[in-house]
Chains A and B, each alone.
Chain A
């Protein structure tokens, strides 16, 4: 597609449930990033994938968070045993080497 696509756009879940968020990057973009944006706050880096290199997971806040990417295509961010503090907008972005980030519209996650 023309842009970065994220699904679902909204997700409401109960505390303790697992959720899976999906990101389809722009075709040909070798890098893919996940960020979290809590209400009224800035962007918090979570993880990035660059080609076939090992992902940089340094921003993942706990071992309940994990992410995978299939080649240079789709990525999924999984949050296990969700907590209320996980409520946020989860943003995915893709990029070419040396280029800027192109963001999706995000997934609004609400943990009740």
Chain B
């Protein structure tokens, strides 16, 4: 069965510092991996995805994520954090392309960027 783990409930980082939000996954086939962000009182927004190809994928708002097959990880990163990045971040996995279309989400990591 698919699963996603986000080991940190909350990550605090100072503005201007690099940030990392961790995600590990488990699927039986090749993973499709995604990051979403949820701002207060707003819906979930797509940030980036890994389907195939380069292990480093770039997404919206300067975020990037690195797919590491051996460590089954897909950590979200940004070189320089902004206070406006403070939000709830969700990692998701889908067992594709020949697997189920079900997307499983992690429990979320709250990112707090301090001025």
Q: Cα distance A8–B46 when bound, in Å?
A: 23
- Whether B32 contacts A98 by the Cβ 8 Å rule is yes
- Whether A48 contacts B105 by the Cβ 8 Å rule is no
- Chain B residue nearest to A89 in the complex (CB): B43
Q: Cα distance A60–B51 when bound, in Å?
A: 28
- Whether A104 contacts B102 by the Cβ 8 Å rule is no
Q: Cα distance A99–B90 when bound, in Å?
A: 16
Within A29-82, the residues touching B (CB, 8 Å) are 31, 33, 35, 41-43, 45, 48, 50, 56, 58
- Whether A91 contacts B43 by the Cβ 8 Å rule is yes
Determine the chain B residues whose CB is within 8 A of the CB of A48 once the complex forms.
Answer: 101-102
Determine the chain A residues whose CB is within 8 A of the CB of B36 once the complex forms.
Answer: 101, 103
Which A residues fall within an 8 A CB radius of B?
31, 33, 35, 41-43, 45, 48, 50, 56, 58, 91, 93, 97-106
